[in-house]
Amino acid sequence: MPSLSRRLLCLLPSAVALVAAASLSAQPAKKLVVGFSQVGAESGWRTANTESIKAEAAKRGIDLKFADAQQKQENQIKALRSFIAQGVDVIAFSPVVETGWEPVLKEIKTAGIPVVLSDRAVKVSDPSLYATQIGSDFVEEGRRAADWLAKKTGGQAVIAELTGTPGSAPAIDRKKGFEQALAKYPGMKIVKSQSGNFTRAEGKQVMEAFLKSPDAKQLTALFAHNDDMALGAIQAIEEAGLKPGKDLVIVSIDGVRGAFEAMAAGKLNCTVECLPQIGPQLFDLIEKVAAGQKVPHHVRVEEGVFDETQAKAELPNRKY
């Protein structure tokens, strides 16, 4: 019969193993660390987009390193380099402009960090520089705006255009889509076009200048690349003693609450929807990419078109 101390000694290895297993299972799972560089806070759309991204990261327990680039590419490039230095698991960003990303994307690739593009696209010669991009079809949004305007005006319109940030994907693509569709309507033409940088203040300033030009009286319509610029332009139109939505038919893009309020008040005629609440889809992609799973190279967001006849009914449903 072995002594008590001998029997205890035999049990020791399994006890040690049990303690080790228990302490291992008590280890919290490693948090996913994501660096996100946002364009800025230029519009109501952007604010809603930022909220969606931050809320979704918090919900999933993701450690989000968020940087606001204040609409400057050099700030975004700095942020991306700092994410490399911090050794984040995934880098995501919404590129302020389309070009000029190759060098920093190559640095990220060399560091072995996957990249997910949010909302806007980039132009690069090597598509493997990013894993995936989620965003709207901006060309289609431009087409929808032109088709709606053609229907509303019977294909007759002298148009002023407020374009978005020069060099940005939505400004380039919305203009392209709008002009593609205009080709079907010989009675519609753009006679003025200038950037309002996607902001309400610059939209107002540019519209004031349009209205002061000697040929301003010929204008019958306004196409703004986003709602914020349209809302700024509406102020300028009213200050010039004209009736927005009547003297000038106005179509814009985004579908923010302020646009629905302006439509309900008869000052804006149509907004083409561009959904900013892409946080859940974005983080589904980020988690898959981090786990090494295959994802599509481009993911499109589904959207609609709303005009003044639907504004009052739709207003309570707007989430941004």
* Chain residues that interact with ligand AHR, rule: CB under 6 A: 42-43, 45-46, 119-120, 170, 198, 226, 228, 253-254, 274
Q: How far is the CB of 254 from ligand AHR (least distance, A)?
A: 5
Which one, 89 or 164, has the nearer CB to ligand AHR? 164
CB of 36 to ligand AHR, least distance (A): 15
Q: Which is nearer to ligand AHR, 115 or 158 (CB)?
A: 115
Q: How far is the CB of 235 from ligand AHR (least distance, A)?
A: 17
Number of CB atoms found within 10 A of residue 29's CB: 6
Least separation in angstroms between residue 42's CB and ligand AHR is 5
Complex with ligand AHR: residue 113 or 206, whichever CB lies closer: 206
C-beta closer to ligand AHR: residue 116 or 290 = 116
Name the residue among 113, 81, 90, 117 with its Cα closest to residue 35: 90
CB of 229 to ligand AHR, least distance (A): 8
**Residue count (the chain):** 320
Supply the DSSP symbol for 296: -
Q: Which is nearer to ligand AHR, 254 or 308 (CB)?
A: 254
Q: What does the alpha-carbon distance between residue 15 and residue 19 come to, in Å, rounded to a whole number?
A: 6
Q: Which helix (H) or strand (E) holds 132?
A: strand 132-135
Number of Cβ within 10 Å of residue 225's Cβ equals 32
Closer residue to ligand AHR in complex, CB, 170/244: 170
233 vs 239: CA distance, rounded Å: 10
Task: Determine contact, residues 118/142, Cβ cutoff 8 Å.
Answer: no
Distance CA 7, CA 51 (A): 62
Q: Characterize the bridge pairing of strands 132-135 and 298-300.
A: parallel
> Closest separation between CB of residue 69 and ligand AHR, Å?
12
